[in-house]
A and B are shown apart, each in its own frame.
Chain A
Amino acid sequence: AQSVAQPEDQVNVAEGNPLTVKCTYSVSGNPYLFWYVQYPNRGLQFLLKYITGDNLVKGSYGFEAEFNKSQTSFHLKKPSALVSDSALYFCAVRDEYGGATNKLIFGTGTLLAVQP
């Protein structure tokens, strides 16, 4: 069975400092990994994905994520946080062998709070 874990309910960081939001996963085959961001009163917005290839993936708004197969992790990072990055972040995974269900499994979300 596939699963994804976001071990931190909340991450606090000062503006200008680097940020990391953690995600680990479990799948049978190779993973398709995604990060989404949710701003208040809005739906989820796609940030970036890893399907295959380079382990460092760059996405929207200066975010990037590093795929680590041995640690089964896909942590979201940004070199310099902005107050406007404050939002709820979701990691999601799909097994390449998901078959007919094509289901994307979401983590429980991590609230990122960037202090001025």
Chain B
Amino acid sequence: EAQVTQNPRYLITVTGKKLTVTCSQNMNHEYMSWYRQDPGLGLRQIYYSMNVEVTDKGDVPEGYKVSRKEKRNFPLILESPSPNQTSLYFCASRAGTENQPQHFGDGTRLSIL
């Protein structure tokens, strides 16, 4: 089954404790992206990757890092989380052409205390 898998689905942690949210897709997609979803703001892009070793900032990259060492994986790293990063996070992937829809994971709900 074609899917995007995120882990963990839920995490409560404390300010400053480094965390990583993993994302893996099995569709051999070149493009992957991370979004955060906040009430009244819709989805905002954090980082994206056009292919292996090619990443770039989205609209709200501050406080986040990503890497793309393999085509299927695109982890999101919060090196020193802060409460304003409490949010619902989604990973997505799509095939290379711009007119293709994105496939989303089921989300990771992060609470930073």
A: which residues have CB within 8 A of B? 32, 34, 36, 41-46, 49, 51, 90, 94, 96, 98, 100-104, 106-109
- The chain B residue sitting closest to A44, CB to CB, is B104
A91 vs B42: C-alpha distance when bound (angstroms): 10
Nearest residue, chain A, Cβ from B104? A43
Does B106 lie within 8 Å of A90, measured CB to CB? Answer: no
Bound form: Cα–Cα A51–B100 in Å: 9
Q: Which residue of B lies closest to A9 (CB)?
A: B40
In the complex the two chains form, is B31's CB within 8 Å of A102's CB? yes
* Residue contacts A-B, CB under 8 angstroms, 28 given: A34-B101, A36-B104, A42-B107, A43-B90, A43-B92, A43-B106, A43-B107, A44-B43, A44-B90, A44-B104, A45-B104, A46-B101, A49-B101, A51-B99, A90-B42, A90-B43, A98-B98, A100-B56, A102-B31, A102-B98, A103-B58, A104-B45, A104-B102, A106-B35, A106-B42, A106-B43, A106-B44, A107-B42
- Tell me the count of chain B residues lying within 8 A, CB to CB, of chain A: 25
Q: Which residues of B contact A (CB under 8 A)?
A: 4, 31, 35, 40-45, 48, 50, 56, 58-59, 90, 92, 98-99, 101-107
Rounded to whole Å, the gap between the CB of B45 and the closest CB of chain A is 6
Residue of B43, B50, B104, B106 touching A102 (CB-CB under 8 A): B50
Minimal beta-carbon separation of B100 from chain A (angstroms): 9
